[in-house]
Each structure stands twice: as structure tokens, then as C-alpha cells.
Structure 1
Amino acid sequence: MFYQKHVFFCTNQKENGSGCGNLASDSGFAFAKLYLQSLDLWGEGKYRASKSGCLGRCKQGPLCVVYPDGIWYSYVDEDDVREIIDSHLLQGNVVERLKL
């Protein structure tokens, strides 16, 4: 595989304010990218975080999904995103408290 794990952060902004992008998902993505880069875990053969359009689970956002595992997470802040990266991506442990 090109990446060991790939995390997609919904950054969709809806006019009615219900989209993940209206709930700070851009900051979740930005933190994930910088955190992975700071650990030298960004790029081919490693890990990747990407922005995505609507993932269709707006009422549960902001959210991200980890592939190829297909595990969905809701998060509140950078601490949650760090936990997803440290526990799920790096250690292979699903973060049950954030899992959708």
C-alpha cells in the first residue's frame, strides 16, 4: 500500500452550519498533518491525513475515518486527534471512546 494508514477529515461546510467544517474540522486536519510531520511519519510508506468533502455523517461530526481499517471517529480537540494517531495509527488500538 502507498500509505500504512490514511485518515480523512471531513471539512465540508454547509450553509445551515451543520457540516463538519463548521465544527473545527480544519483545525483537526491541520493538527494531524503537523503532528505526523513532527514525528517524521508523513509520506509514502508512512501515514497521511487529508481533507475530504462530506462523508455523510454530519450529525456526528466533526469526524474522520481511518483507512484501510474503515474506523470512524468523532473528535472534539487536538488531544482527541493526538490520541487517534498515537493509539490507532501507531499502536493499532482502536480508541473506543471516540469511535462512531
Structure 2
Amino acid sequence: MAEPHLERHVFICTNRRDPANPKGCCASKGAEKVREAFKKAVFEEGLRATMRANAAGCLDQCEHGVTVVVYPEQVWYGSVTPDDVSEIVESHLKGGVPVERLRIR
């Protein structure tokens, strides 16, 4: 079986912590809905042959959650909501232009 050639791989932090933890966590900020939105968008846009969107453990950017990172460019996004996903897909995944307003620097 040949390995798929992926142009981009999106990782969405879905880490869950105890609610008392001062760092908070992406799960409590809606990470699962963001993950579902990415999966749906990749499928509906016909991108599954060249792109994947997967859940990730802690990406160590808790203060920016929901955190998303896109490889191979290593572009980090923060405070991502399900409403932001279509913009990331259109601009970055399809067009190659990162969404500056969501970038973590």
C-alpha cells in the first residue's frame, strides 16, 4: 500500500484538563466542535486525498486555545472557533495564504 502524499496536515488540540487547572484546556473551549468542522470541511471540499485534520494532545499553547497547527508550514492558529474553519480552509489549505488574524506569533 502506497503512502498518501499529504500537502498539509492540520492538528487540532483537543486536550482535556481538570477544570481547576489554571492553564485551562482547549477541550473546554470547544475543541471538539472545531475538529468536527475541519473534518467536515476537508471532506466536503474534496481535499481528503491531499490533506488530513486530526485531533492532537496538548500543543502547549493553552492560553491561545483552541489551538491549531498546520504542517508542513508550521503555522499556528489560536482562539479558533468553528466559524473560523471555513476561512482557514479556503485561504490557507486551498489557497496557501495563512489567516493572519488568527496566527500565534
TM-score relative to the length of structure 1: 0.91
Give the distance between the partners of 1:55 and 1:76, measured in 2 at CA.
14
- 2: distance between equivalents of 1:85 and 1:56? 23
Gap regions ≥5 residues in structure 1: none
Q: Distance in 1 between matches of 2:11 and 2:71?
A: 8
Cα displacement string for residues 19-77 of structure 1 (whole angstroms, at most 9, x for unaligned residues): 1011101110111101110111114xx11000000000101111100000000001442
Q: What corresponds to 1:64 in structure 2?
A: 68
Aligned length: 98
Residue 90 of structure 2, aligned match among 80, 86, 90? 86
Instruction: State the match for 2:46 in structure 1.
Output: 40
The one of 7, 12, 27 equivalent to 2:10 is: 7
After TM superposition, the score normalised by the length of structure 2 is 0.87
Gaps of at least 5 residues in structure 2 are none
Give the secondary-structure state (helix, strand or coil) at the position aligned to 1:35. helix
Shift of 1:82: 1.1
State the SS of the aligned residue for 2:100: coil
CA RMSD of aligned residues (A): 1.4
More deviation, 76-85/61-70: 76-85
Q: Secondary structure at the match of 1:42?
A: coil
Q: Once the two structures are aligned, what percentage of the paired residues are identical?
A: 37
* The structure with more radius of gyration: 2
